[in-house]
Amino acid sequence: MKKIGIKWKVEDMTSQKGKLAIITGSNTGIGYQMALALADKGAMVVLACRNLEKGEKARAEIIDSSPNALITVEELDLANLESIEAFGQRLTKSHDHVDILINNAGVMIPPQSTTADGFELQIGTNHFGHFALTSHLMPLLSAAKHPRIVTLSSIAHWSGRIDLNDINGKAKKYDKWAMYSQSKLANLLFALELDRRLKAAGSHIESFGSHPGYSNTDLQRHSLAWRCLNPLFGMKPIKGAAPTLYAATIPDAINHRYWGPIGILEARGWTGKAKITARAADEEMARKLWEHTEALTGIKFQL
């Protein structure tokens, strides 16, 4: 059965005035487009960036484009649990609620390396980092009227497998693609498990997964081949940002929990109900991954 896309464009987004949105990795690529779009619609946006200089540059560009934009920049290194906790503490002191949290930042197929806490960089940043961040921000999200959390996965999750016995890949030859796919599967497992746990707890917070298809950004900067292919085949970042913004702002998004482009191989096309693979829908694995993540990070998730 052919999937039917929603011919929704980012500019169709309604007013977001009065909302506070936090977007990780928002100084470039689709994260930047999300920040620009939300700010243009009146939301107060926090650019959560590892590099403050690049964050301030992005802030200046957004204000140039949308002079009335309400934009702040906060330092956040998702590869460092201490930095994540400090970010959460600062936000708790400066704000009384958060309406939208977009877990967008990520690393893709870098040279083998580890986070400040000794985790493999991709699982450590993409999954552990966002797990910790979301936990620290739960009190602020709970204080909002209609809060939403959107965690970005990828079509790469289709080939992902979670290895709970060696999630950091220390006991085998390093395979950067396998580790990336694992981290993106972990993102979607987390988004869906968080939704189930929130519902079980009677929370009004909504959790979604999303993916940008094949978008032309610098996420693929570690691959020369992908950098060459991006301009030819990648969607514009604004189109790649659309599914996440749809999940973050549109009331009807609650009819599905995973949004993305739904053209050929979900690499491009209009926003629609993205495919949730059998491994992503595995509730037992999601529960085990959640518990494993708490054990490794030392974070008891706040619900």
Q: Which residues are catalytic?
A: 180
Question: Do 126 and 172 contact (CB within 8 A), yes or no?
Answer: no
**In this structure, what token pair is assigned to residue 142?**
């709970």
Cβ–Cβ contacts within 10 Å for residue 223, how many? 16
Polymer length in residues for the chain = 303
Tokens 């708790």 sit at which residue?
A: 92
Q: How far is CA 243 from the centre of its chain?
A: 11
Three-class SS state of 207: strand
Say which DSSP state 146 is in. Answer: S
The angle subtended at Cα 18 by Cα 12 and Cα 21, nearest 5°, is 75
**In this structure, what token pair is assigned to residue 231?**
């301009």
